Chain A
């Protein structure tokens, strides 16, 4: 079974700072997911990526398949980015359900 580790667990940043959240996993995968959980509890999918880099607005996700590692970057952070960011990967290689990291709680202070 894939083991997912996220770091840091908690992160506090000043508005405008560049944020990096890391995700490592143990079993080779076809794709990795980044999700955001709002303070109110709702969960939305941000990215699904299998190689390279994806960008959406101020969010950038990168993945290194060989090193089994992904990063989520937030440029010019804003208080509205405050949320829990969750990494997820397939449980095993192949077509298996996802297993989730414990999340990184981000607080951006104005």
Chain B
């Protein structure tokens, strides 16, 4: 069982570049979410989706886009990377909003 697969694990971007962080799950979970984790702060919700075709903003959505064309995939797009987006990003999925979540391994992103 793969669970939640998140790629890449590490990435360095130049300011202004765009990129997509991939997230896929094979558990048929409806709920998927993206978080960023910064030193001294808890996980903060960027965007989430309660099912294919449905997405919504979290606490810190600016500078990020998402789409959910299938149940399995929930990519996160950085439109024009900024140093403030340097962070560790986690994707997660669960059957519903409140059930136990399965997390991807994280992506350490550095924007220079």
**Which residues of A line the B interface, CB within 8 A?**
4, 30-31, 33, 35, 41-45, 48, 86, 88, 90, 95-103
Point out residues on B near A: beta carbons under 8 Å.
Answer: 33, 35, 40-45, 48, 58-59, 88, 90, 92, 96-103, 105-106, 108
A102 engages B42 (CB within 8 Å): yes
Q: Quick one: given A43-B103, A97-B58, are A31 and B98 in contact (CB under 8 Å)? A: yes
| Alpha-carbon distance A42/B92, docked complex (angstroms) | 11
Minimum Cβ distance to chain A for residue B55 (Å): 12
Contact B100 A45 (CB under 8 A): yes
* Assembly CA distance A98 to B42 (angstroms): 11
Q: Are A41 and B105 in contact (CB under 8 A)?
A: yes
* Bound Cα distance A86, B59 (Å): 18
Known A-B contacts A30-B98, A95-B98, A97-B33; the reply to A102 vs B40 at CB < 8 A is yes
Question: 14 A-B Cβ contacts within 8 A?
Answer: A33-B100, A35-B101, A41-B88, A41-B105, A41-B106, A42-B105, A43-B92, A43-B106, A44-B103, A45-B102, A86-B43, A98-B45, A101-B42, A102-B42
Is chain A's binding surface mostly helix, strand, loop or mixed?
strand
Residues of A within 8 A of B92 (CB): 43
| Docked CA distance A98–B101 (Å) | 10
Which of B97, B100, B101 has a CB less than 8 Å from the CB of A95?
Answer: B97
The residues of B that contact A100 with a CB separation of less than 8 Å are 35, 42-44
Which of A42, A44, A97 is close to B97, meaning CB atoms less than 8 Å apart? A97
Q: Are B103 and A90 in contact (CB under 8 A)?
A: no
Give B99's nearest chain A residue, CB to CB: A48
For residue B42, which residue of chain A has the nearest CB? A100
- 11 additional contacts (CB under 8 A) given A31-B98, A41-B108, A43-B92: A33-B100, A43-B106, A45-B101, A48-B98, A96-B97, A97-B33, A97-B58, A98-B97, A99-B45, A100-B44, A103-B42
Q: Which chain A positions have C-beta within 8 A of B40?
A: 102
